Amino acid sequence: MLSLVRASVRQLVVSPRLSSSYSILAMASPAPQQPYSGGPRRNRNRRGRGKGATPNAPGAAGLASASAPSILERAASPVAQVIQTRAFSTTQSILAGYQSTRKFADTNLMPRIKANIPPTWEFMSEIQAQTVDVCLTGKDLLAQAKTGTGKTVAFLLPTIQRLLQNPVPGGGVGAIIITPTRELAIQIRNECMPLIHGTTLKVVPLVGGVNVNKDLKLLSAGCDIIVATPGRLKDHLENLGMRPRVAALKTLILDEADRLLDMGFAPDIRRIVAFLPNRATVPRQSMLFSATVPPAVMDVKNIVLLPDHAHVSTIDPKEANAHMHVDQHFLTAPLDQHASVFLELIRNDIKKHGAHSKVMAFYPIARGAQLAAHVLKGLTSPHLNAGRQPAQPDFPVFEQHSRLSQATRLRTTDAFGKSPNGVMVTSDVTARGMDFPNVTLVVQMTAPSNEEDYVHRLGRTARAGTDGYGILGMKAMPLAQHPETEGILNRAKALTPAVHDATRAVEEDVRSKAYSATLGQLMQTRKIHRMNEEELVRAANQWVYDALLWPHDEPPPISTMTAGKMGLRKTPGLNLFVEQRAPRGAPKAKA
């Protein structure tokens, strides 16, 4: 079903029709997925011998990949180093829709800090206006605000001032900022750099995927502010001798606290807090910043914050979040037409925004994002040229998911942020906290696992009062049907040959892994689809032939070991093979 949301942001939902007895579009979360509407099957033998699936992506993901919008050839412009000092436009964009009447000049910030605030910022956002001076008092804080309203600057400015006024002796760490993802940690680090310009303060990111020895080298050179993901920070505290460095810690910040807890980091956070000095002997300020405040956040605040902490919220209880600021509609389309429909939607966005069309497409699994990116890169410029002027540039495709190296992900994050247009095909690694300017369309090819994720995915667009558009692929929503459904579907059919050509050009290995991952996700969400194992396998097989155009008589092979792990080893319809165990000591093959 395709759901369209419209307002300052528009949101569309893409999912398969409910005309089939089984659903191929598996939700990456509890949200139900639509049953596959499916076209006629080919006269190929879809029967297999066993079962198998790798837990990686829902059918939607693979489907989404096929349904990926057509993007012009990838524009591989050189990417500057991510770890560089550069001004950022977060607050500038915030001012468009969420500015307060208070000026940075009117705060109690030190002159040297005010000097680093760009003059174009002048007015603060609401969350900044309500929290900066509170934080400067040293009081603990729980702050809630919508995504894209300047929370990062709100906690960075007081933290910097606290460390300048009360330096930690002996080169110790003065502040720790904990974030849920590597990309967000790097973004915060980059946003901090212009604000500490001209001071002696140093900020170091500690994230997974980076050699620990590099961390130790940076720390040994001196570090005042650490921006870290929970796992890497806990490792440093437990095993790498960091505890003495934090013996005089002055500030602890949990950014995107709701996401941290939703991702299962509560035990790590408790362990990290236990390593920190006792607040009774070493006074410390703690802050929790979050877009939503579910019960889990309220629980962890009792561990992190003092009982008399301040609580600031810039969200009116009567006012809905970003996802409620849009008119919502839906479209239904057969699963094997999702790619073509998506392509047509991208063309529509280009007609509207021209050279400034900027799209983010979310997939629940890495293999789904990978497949979608490959399909998009196979589509040539003319397929997206509708409504564009000849002088307008092509649209680059940005691929972002956990199967890529950390260095590649950081370069992609930086490149997409700087790009005036293009499409990022991504998993949820960019759903929270990341601030990409001027995103005009957000596509969710499957429903998120919870309400908060839905809000955060959609929150990548229409930030700070700018326009945006979103698409979500899922089984059902209480939405009105899109008024242009028939026209979109008809135009999409004309694009199908081009989409099929691009799909056939995708390496079989990529399509095979997407199929396996889809089976895994379908198994994880089978109760939602109300299908048994046999029905799920049939749905996945139909999808791999009709949407991914698998060229062989049997579906992609799956090892008996993988099938056994997924509980599908005895399910008919799979193409099983016996995986040879590598000799002891032999290097493991990379997936």
289: CATH? 3.40.50.300
The model's pLDDT over 563-588, given as tens digits with 9 standing for 90+, comes to 998 999 999 999 999 877 656 655 55
Confidence class for position 534, pLDDT limits 50, 70, 90? very high
The domain boundary, picked from 282, 313, 344, lies at: 313
Q: Which is higher by pLDDT, 44 or 102?
A: 102
> Which run of H or of E encompasses 480?
strand 480-481
pLDDT at 8: 33
Q: Kindly report the number of other CB atoms within 10 A of residue 365's CB atom.
A: 32
**Percentage of the residues of the chain whose pLDDT score is greater than 70:** 68
Count the neighbouring beta carbons within 10 Å of the beta carbon of residue 256. 25
> Which pLDDT score is estimated for 200?
94
96 belongs to a structural domain: no
* 219 and 259 assigned to the same domain: yes
347-405: pLDDT as tens digits = 888 888 888 898 888 887 889 889 989 988 888 655 655 544 433 457 788 999 888 88
The answer to the question of residue 348 being in a domain is yes
User: Alpha helix (H) ranges present in 240-388?
Assistant: 257-262, 266-275, 295-304, 338-353, 366-377
Q: Do residues 494 and 35 make contact, with C-beta atoms less than 8 angstroms apart?
A: no
Q: Note the pLDDT of residue 209.
A: 82
Residues 178 and 200 in one domain: yes
Q: Which two tokens stand for residue 469?
A: 């558009």
Residues 173 and 237 in one domain: yes
* Nearest partner of 156 among 186, 182, 136, 184, judged by Cα: 136
Is residue 64 within 8 Å of 368, Cβ to Cβ?
yes
Phi, psi of 310 (to 5 degrees): -85, 150
CA distance 489 to 338: 10
Taking the alpha carbons at both ends of the chain, their separation in whole angstroms is: 32
Which of 313, 331, 348 terminates a domain? The answer is 313
Does any domain span residue 37?
A: yes
Amino acid residing at 117:
I
Q: Are 132 and 280 in contact (CB under 8 A)?
A: no
Residues 194 and 225 placed together within one structural domain of the fold: yes
The answer to whether residues 384 and 460 belong to one domain is yes
**What was the pLDDT predicted at 380?**
62
pLDDT digit string, tens, across residues 510-529: 999 999 998 988 888 777 66
The residue that leads in pLDDT, 155 or 65, is 155
Judge contact between 370 and 510, C-beta under 8 A: yes
- Among the ranges given (2-6, 166-170, 354-358, 527-531), the one the predictor scored with the smallest mean pLDDT: 2-6
Amino acid 87: pLDDT: 30
Residue 447 lies in a domain: yes
320 within 8 A of 292, measured Cβ to Cβ: no
In this structure, are 357 and 459 located in the same domain? yes
The pLDDT value recorded for residue 228 is 96
Residues 307 and 328 in one domain: no
For residue 323, the 8-state DSSP code is G
Both 302 and 329 in one domain: the answer is no
Q: Does any domain span residue 281?
A: yes
Between 264-273, 281-290, 459-468, 518-527, the lowest mean confidence (pLDDT) is in 459-468
Q: Compute the mean pLDDT over every residue in the chain, rounded to the nearest whole number.
A: 75
Q: How confident is the model at residue 523, as a pLDDT?
A: 84
Question: What are the φ and ψ backbone dihedral angles of 563, each rounded to 5 degrees?
Answer: -60, -40
Instruction: Say how far apart CA 499 and CA 513 lie, in whole Å.
Output: 19
User: For the chain, how many residues are written?
Assistant: 591
Final residue in a domain of this structure, among 481, 508, 535: 508
Domain assignment present for residue 527? The answer is no
pLDDT of residue 450: 55
Residues 493, 357 share a domain:
yes
Same domain, residue pair 308 and 328: no
Confidence at 461, pLDDT banded by 50, 70, 90 = low
Examine the domain organization and report whether 196 and 224 are in the same domain: yes
Give pLDDT, residue 68: 32
- The answer to the question of residue 430 being in a domain is yes
Q: Domain containing 405: what range?
A: 2-80+320-508
Query: What is the tens place of the pLDDT at every residue in 228-274?
Result: 999 999 999 999 999 999 999 999 999 988 888 878 889 999 999 99
Output the DSSP codes for 424-474: EEE-GGGSSS---TT--EEEESS--SSHHHHHHHHTTSSGGG--EEEEEE-
Number of structural domains the chain divides into: 2
Instruction: Let me know whether 337 and 486 are in one domain.
Output: yes
Note the pLDDT of residue 452.
Answer: 54
State the virtual CA torsion across 446, 451, 454, 456 in degrees, nearest 10: -150
Decide: 458 and 148 in contact? Cβ < 8 Å.
no
Q: Determine, yes or no, domain membership for 103.
A: no
